[in-house]
Structure 1
């Protein structure tokens, strides 16, 4: 191997060793052993919610360990690949070794981002709300495009999702939608997506074919856990029940099972219509409301510590442009990261934007 290859492999080894240290591989193995023991108990499913938490955590811990072990094995094999290729003078084998090394750099760099998620709630699952803003029908259509983008992103990663509520616009698209992403670190990962997204395109709803600019807002909150102590007084709630509707106002069931909760002190309104029973919808809506109140409390605490002020000033402002006309470009205004294929981005290929956002946030926090 030449010196450049050796230096690159040494750098990759240093980075992977750092990731393994942060992940605490011995502790991870012990956690898997303990969770496997709990998952094997005959009374596991007596408490369905606890059982789901145990089996979910076990699956993700096993996935994390499997990924780390696989990267370590492959990285250890690369020098052997080079030696065999050079001994045989096989240029195609050397090219294969180069390709594997490049692939490892991409995968290790992506995993390194996880080590930057060290906030108080970063390891939580996420609740995401998307709302159409300025731009009329195009904004509602854009909000639905973003909803599909995030659901596709989750699907690509094998993350479970639950859409709690979708408020459809009259002509096309959605007014708002709230969904959960069930994966460890989903909040820390997706929280950099919060803010105002801007779309520029030829409007499909304008019969004169004019260019239209529209906006949609993204909010991200951590899922509430029992230890958070988010108490809500029933006297502070207004509860409305209604019949769930689909696109164009079409009824999707025949009973008033959908539930809307208004938290009077904060003005926060949430709704849930995906469950069959009113009781289940109220429980889901309450979980969403608690998450939003937790996120509000989290931001207030950060402001009190003066650590949220500088980084937070960007969240409510425009943070990413999606330009479909007169050229094709998606650009993040905070990180300057850009992609020239909006179709792929809107189909859920947003990992590079997310990773750049996490690195940007970490750097911003270090500088403040």
Structure 2
């Protein structure tokens, strides 16, 4: 690796150790803004520092092994030569991984996210496909150790969903899922098909970064219309007999969000407001992307939510 890069990595390790000390400082602990900022920076650079420390260990091991090459014992010398080759291969792989880890990330990548899944063309089969997508994302989230919450849902008659909104909480959620936004298409024989014909159905997926409460743009309460209504579906007598569900309309943009998953009206309102902030920020981000694309006179894909990003072809197993 180049000396300039190694010097930058050394500075990164120094900063990591400095942050560790700051996070245990009572003055910083008592200052919520500083503590959150330092914690985020610490979390962001920790994976890179771990790779640097592993690299240092490999270089140390390599030095020890090279020292064994002067041994008079032929077996030890042969074993050292084999281990040196293995160690050098591991070092090359690690340095490649380290360079990838140093690629700058978008500020939103580390945030939690909302996933909106809506059935598109295809009737009942589209609703069933939406259900399959929901299960896919839930299983993936579980494999990553992320937590999930259902913000709102509208179930289809034959199973699946007309629409569902999930909140996924964890580290690097938005960065891992943001490219799932777009149209998902499935080609298969539906459970509702009696003649064995292959149908094509589609769903749309939108992934939006959760907005940090401390960084949220203030929304004037005059710009909001808040309606309460009785929740529908399962949830017990209490849910269905009280106006606990919340619908919030942002008048300037026309954005509408609903939440009815909690029995508490206050909790539903808090969740709905969090989703509304995410939608507003996402709309602003999309507008900025569209401007950049227009100036360059070419679309790069990430600014167009309607772009089909994946086809699930069941008959051909791909």
TM-score tier (shorter): 0.7 to 0.9
1:337 alignment counterpart:
none
1:26 alignment counterpart:
14
The answer to whether structure 1 residue 72 and structure 2 residue 80 are counterparts is no
Contact in 1 for aligned 2:108/2:175 (Cα 8 Å): yes
Q: 1:250 aligns to what SS in structure 2?
A: coil
Report how far residue 99 of structure 1 moved.
Answer: 12
Q: 2:109 aligns to what SS in structure 1?
A: coil
Contact in 2 for aligned 1:200/1:214 (Cα 8 Å): yes
Report how far residue 37 of structure 1 moved.
Answer: 3.8
2:238 alignment counterpart:
254
Distance 1:22 1:214 in 2: 52
Segments of 5+ residues of structure 2 without an aligned counterpart are: 70-74
Once the two structures are superposed, what CA deviation does each residue of 1:92-126 show, in whole Å capped at 9, x if it has no partner? x76x9489839x83x77667555445335334332
Report how far residue 288 of structure 1 moved.
Answer: 0.6
Contact in 2 for aligned 1:38/1:54 (Cα 8 Å): no
Contact in 2 for aligned 1:244/1:253 (Cα 8 Å): no
**CA gap 1:71/1:170 in 2 versus in 1, 3 angstroms:** farther
Q: What is the correspondence of 1:332-347 to structure 2 with a 5 Å cutoff?
A: none
Contact in 1 for aligned 2:19/2:38 (Cα 8 Å): no
The answer to whether structure 1 residue 224 and structure 2 residue 214 are counterparts is no
Contact in 1 for aligned 2:223/2:250 (Cα 8 Å): yes
**CA gap 1:109/1:170 in 2 versus in 1, 3 angstroms:** farther
Distance 1:230 1:176 in 2: 27
Contact in 1 for aligned 2:112/2:172 (Cα 8 Å): yes
Report how far residue 170 of structure 1 moved.
Answer: 2.1
Distance 1:23 1:206 in 2: 62
Distance 2:60 2:123 in 1: 56
Q: What is the correspondence of 1:1-368 to structure 2 with a 5 Å cutoff?
A: 21=9, 24-37=12-25, 57=40, 60=43, 64=47, 67-68=50-51, 71-72=54-55, 75-76=58-59, 79=62, 87=76, 89=78, 97=86, 101=90, 105=93, 113-226=100-213, 228-245=215-232, 249-252=233-236, 254-255=238-239, 256-305=243-292, 306=295, 310-311=299-300, 312=302, 314-325=304-315, 327-329=316-318
Report how far residue 52 of structure 1 moved.
Answer: 11
Contact in 2 for aligned 1:259/1:278 (Cα 8 Å): yes
Contact in 2 for aligned 1:142/1:199 (Cα 8 Å): yes
Q: Identify which range, 316-325 or 66-75, moves more after superposition.
A: 66-75
How many residues are aligned here? 304
Distance 2:140 2:8 in 1: 26
Distance 2:150 2:7 in 1: 33
Contact in 2 for aligned 1:117/1:123 (Cα 8 Å): no
TM-score by length of 1: 0.66
Distance 1:239 1:37 in 2: 43
Report how far residue 193 of structure 1 moved.
Answer: 1.6
Report how far residue 60 of structure 1 moved.
Answer: 4.0
Q: Which has the larger radius of gyration?
A: 2
2:72 alignment counterpart:
none
Once the two structures are superposed, what CA deviation does each residue of 1:333-361 show, in whole Å capped at 9, x if it has no partner? xxxxxxxxxxxxxxxxxxxxxxxxxxxxx
Report how far residue 228 of structure 1 moved.
Answer: 4.0
Contact in 2 for aligned 1:167/1:174 (Cα 8 Å): yes
TM-score by length of 2: 0.74
Q: 1:321 aligns to what SS in structure 2?
A: strand
Segments of 5+ residues of structure 1 without an aligned counterpart are: 1-12, 330-368
